[in-house]
Amino acid sequence: MSRVAYVNGRYVPHREAVVHVEDRGYQFADGVYEVCEVLGGRLVDETRHTDRLERSLSELRIDMPIARSALGVVLRQVVHRNRVRDGLVYFQVTRGVARRDHVFPPSGTRPALVVTARSTNRAASEAVAAKGIKVITVPDNRWERVDIKSVGLLPNVMARQAAREEGAREAWFVDGDGFVTEGAATNAWIVTAKGELVTRPADGSILKGITRTTLIDVLGKRGMKLVERPFTVDEAKAAREAFTTAATMLVMPVVQIDDSVVGNGHPGSLTGELRAAFHTIAEIA
């Protein structure tokens, strides 16, 4: 079946979906994006993803390319036209097309919107989650505005590639004081040896993950306590459980950090419980 993408107002065959060479996303990484899970053909946490898109855009002083309600229609159209039941929808907004110049383009330059969707193999993801994943740790060498979901992802790309080359699925960034910030494309969590559930506060040093926010709702509903504080790599290695969250992985157990096995080397029971509970609380529309 042929895939379809949305590019600036048109639904086009995926292989013909192109943007201009002077799109500022291409030349300056001058844009932002979102990745939203699709479950049974419906969008998971669309409201929060769209809220975050609007926030990222406003931090960079880029206008919404189309009305919020129209965006919801386009996302569903792309999901539908690609016959995605379970998968991901990707949407990206850049500052648009203009002659290369660092300063903002002339007023009237329209922000560019691209939307793609693809199916994922749920059974394969569940099989990965049943075993848990390895993460490596790498120095956090990103800019200071990681709260913005920018398409400027070079440090993340290099970190994920390093992970791949070491047989791991994710890399956790570590700040100059030895504290874990977050993953290359996920947020990091541990259950300490004492049983404390810990994740780093979203104080600007991490992206405020939507999966993270919704999982905090899950904890609230279950009356479970969360401690939002930074944790060190050493603490993570000595933890009882560890996991990492994102729209692409949900609640993914971490069973190895660098050369250290976490807990008994199997996904933790609390992690499994939270993974199972996630979709009972998330918005699915």
Active-site residue numbers? 149
CB of 81 to ligand PDD, least distance (A): 21
**Residue 36 region, left (φ>0) first, then alpha (ψ -120 to 50), else beta?**
beta
Least Å distance, CB 70 to ligand PDD, is 22
Residues sharing a CB contact under 8 Å with residue 260, sequence separation 6 or more, in sequence order: 237
Q: CB count, 10 Å around CB of 28?
A: 15
CA distances from 87 to 22, 63, 66, 108 (A): 30, 28, 24, 35
239 or 251: whose CB is closer to ligand PDD?
A: 251
Residue numbers 229-268 binding ligand PDD by CB under 6 A: 245-248
Contact (CB, 8 A) for 278 and 252: no
Closer residue to ligand PDD (CB): 97 or 129: 129
- Considering the complex, what minimum distance in angstroms separates the CB of residue 18 from ligand PDD? 22
Alpha-carbon distance 93 to 62, whole Å?
A: 9
Binding to ligand PDD, residues 126-165 (CB under 6 A): 156
Told to check if 209 binds ligand PDD by CB under 6 A, we report yes
Longest dimension (CA), the chain: 58
Q: Does residue 207 interact with ligand PDD by CB under 6 A? A: yes
Length of the chain: 285
Question: Counting contacts by CB under 6 A, is residue 187 touching ligand PDD?
Answer: yes
Residue of 112, 185, 242, 254 interacting with ligand PDD (CB under 6 A): 185
Residues that bind ligand PDD (CB under 6 A): 35, 156, 182, 185-187, 207, 209-212, 245-248
